Structure 1
């Protein structure tokens, strides 16, 4: 998938917006997929993107968080954490499937189907430049920012 053009997609997002990849032409797009709103790891990850958001903006990057949660859940999560970026709702898993982030995982000893925490960086021409899968939250957002600054 690296160095390939990502097909355009769109999905409903917070703030009454629709996020489309084509709508971001010329900007670096950082998409992070996370399992669930308001859970400890996902909250920390979102807070890390929030805290470095000005630096992502300075590097001409747009940040989008995506999970399968509803827009209502996303709006509450975004407001509670004061996220300055949008969250996309992928209830039908179309974008998750495009990026191959739905996996069988173990949760509390049970097999569950869910989103594997993953981050993708797409350049201003819509080409995938870097991906991280099975992300561990500590230090990850800084690593993404450091990579974005090289583009």
Structure 2
């Protein structure tokens, strides 16, 4: 269950960055925000997805768009992940799952026959006024960052 609805404002939230400083959604007004949730730093799918956003980051920037990744990893883990792969964008830590629950991305999963609770790979496009314009759930990594870039381009300034 999610508290967010397409074409409605996203409630403000604050998370810690990889630098362990606060990041607040409302402070990003004036820029579109691509908020992508990933299950865990340094895993193959999450690395590939993050690298795709990294490689397209200049094109997102040219469209007045900030890319932000978020997971339940601790800030230090995220900082190491960012530094290892050269991600130019902000990574947020949500160990208490506050933002994950706001966006409804926590799911029961099967991992090697064992039930675990984790983040369902999802991305949300928030416009420069703080309104949710598009969401992608159960994301498949291949071609995803490109699809998000296309959606941003269709938003306009």
- What TM-score comes out, normalization by structure 1 length? 0.98
Question: 1:96 and 2:72 equivalent?
Answer: no
CA distances 1:69-91 after superposition (whole Å, capped 9, x unpaired):
00010000000000000100001
- Paired residues, what number? 151
CA distances 1:22-69 after superposition (whole Å, capped 9, x unpaired):
000111000000000000000000000000000000000001100000
Tell me the CA shift for residue 16 of structure 1: 4.3
Which residue of structure 2 aligns with residue 8 of structure 1?
Answer: 12
Which residue of structure 2 aligns with residue 106 of structure 1?
Answer: 110
Determine if contact 2:75/2:92 at 8 Å carries over to the other structure.
yes
Which residue of structure 2 aligns with residue 125 of structure 1?
Answer: 129
Which residue among 20, 24, 29 is the counterpart of 2:24? 20
Determine if contact 1:15/1:86 at 8 Å carries over to the other structure.
no
Which residue among 21, 32, 36 is the counterpart of 1:32? 36
Gap regions ≥5 residues in structure 1: none
Determine if contact 2:19/2:75 at 8 Å carries over to the other structure.
no
Give the 3-state SS of the residue equivalent to 2:154 in structure 1: coil
Gap regions ≥5 residues in structure 2: none
Determine if contact 2:19/2:76 at 8 Å carries over to the other structure.
no
Tell me the CA shift for residue 110 of structure 1: 1.3
Whole-angstrom CA distance in 1 between matches of 2:19 and 2:153: 27
Determine if contact 1:26/1:124 at 8 Å carries over to the other structure.
yes
